[in-house]
């Protein structure tokens, strides 16, 4: 069975990309949109994670939310999803997914990177994740996919060979997608914005050129960062 066109909207299937989004950049958002195309979902919800009070991220929750909203204003495929910020601490993915299911009957596709998958068995109540969602794993094109044995055994029981399966069942599948490798991270972008040098040869931003930030940030997000002097030393 062929996948429906990616341009078609599925109101009953909700793709979720979680993260600190500090700041949100084209690397992880671009990978998520590519994965969404692969499984026939048009829109991706950006869900900022709730952070413990003792964990410093350099900017307030309000700023992280505003930057996500600016990304969504510039791309109609992106939608802010702020539910985790409203939940009691401590935050766990399985609890957030449960709250999303209580909020609506939407089928949830929760996006994670391969590096997160490799450590999945360390997550709180990870065995129950698939009770509430399909897990969409974003594998990078040119990196070897090598889960540890325990995770591979779990994958063997849950991977869906037909990516269309997420549209026919409310939860329970793992879907493996292939996404471009974006050699950038929020940490590197923060370093650039703070004035610290990065490795240009590795394809990462370099603070010697202000244009480097524009490669990875939406213009409105960069303007907001500059206006509020975020990440400055």
pLDDT exceeds 80 at position 26: yes
Q: CATH 3.40.50.620 spans which residues of the chain? A: 13-182
pLDDT at 10 over 50: no
Q: Tokens standing for 210?
A: 């202000």
- 116-137: per-residue pLDDT in tens? 999 999 999 999 999 999 999 9
Please say whether the beta carbons of 32 and 17 come within 8 A: yes
Q: Is the pLDDT of residue 19 over 60?
A: yes
What is the reported pLDDT for 25?
94
Assess contact for 74 and 45: CB atoms under 8 A: no
Task: Give the whole-angstrom CA distance, residue 27 versus residue 192.
Answer: 15
CA 89 to chain centre: 21
* Of 120-134, 137-151, 203-217, highest mean pLDDT: 120-134
- Global pTM? 0.86
In CATH, the architecture of 13-182 is 3-Layer(aba) Sandwich (3.40)
Taking only the tens place, the pLDDT of each residue in 87-113 is 998 889 999 999 999 999 999 999 999
The upper half-sphere exposure of residue 181, i.e. CA atoms within 13 Å in the direction of its Cβ, equals 11
229 DSSP 8-state letter: T
- Secondary structure tally for the chain: helices H, strands E: 9, 6
3-state DSSP assignment of residue 78: strand
Check residue 57 and give its pLDDT.
63
pLDDT classification of 51: cutoffs 50, 70, 90: confident
């Amino acid at each position: 069975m062929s996948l429906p066109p990616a341009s078609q909207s599925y109101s009953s299937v909700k793709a979720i990309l979680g993260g600190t989004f500090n700041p949100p950049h084209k690397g992880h958002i671009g990978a998520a949109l590519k994965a969404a195309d692969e499984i026939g979902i048009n829109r991706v919800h950006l869900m900022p994670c709730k952070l413990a009070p003792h964990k410093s991220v350099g900017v307030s929750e309000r700023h992280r939310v505003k930057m996500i909203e600016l990304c969504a204003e510039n791309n109609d495929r992106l939608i802010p999803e702020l539910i985790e910020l409203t939940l009691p601490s401590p935050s766990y993915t399985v609890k957030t997914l449960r709250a999303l299911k209580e909020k609506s009957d939407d089928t949830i596709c929760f996006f994670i990177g391969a590096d997160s998958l490799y450590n999945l068995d360390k997550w709180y109540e990870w065995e129950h994740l698939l009770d509430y969602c399909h897990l969409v794993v974003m594998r990078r094109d040119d990196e070897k996919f090598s889960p540890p044995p325990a995770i591979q055994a779990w994958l063997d029981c849950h991977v869906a060979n037909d990516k269309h399966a997420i549209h026919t069942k409310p939860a329970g599948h793992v879907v493996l997608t292939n996404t471009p490798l974006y050699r950038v991270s929020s940490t590197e972008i923060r370093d650039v914005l703070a004035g610290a040098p990065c490795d240009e040869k590795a394809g990462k931003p370099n603070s010697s050129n202000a244009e480097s930030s524009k490669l990875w940030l939406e213009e409105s997000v960069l303007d907001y960062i500059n206006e509020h002097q975020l990440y400055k030393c």
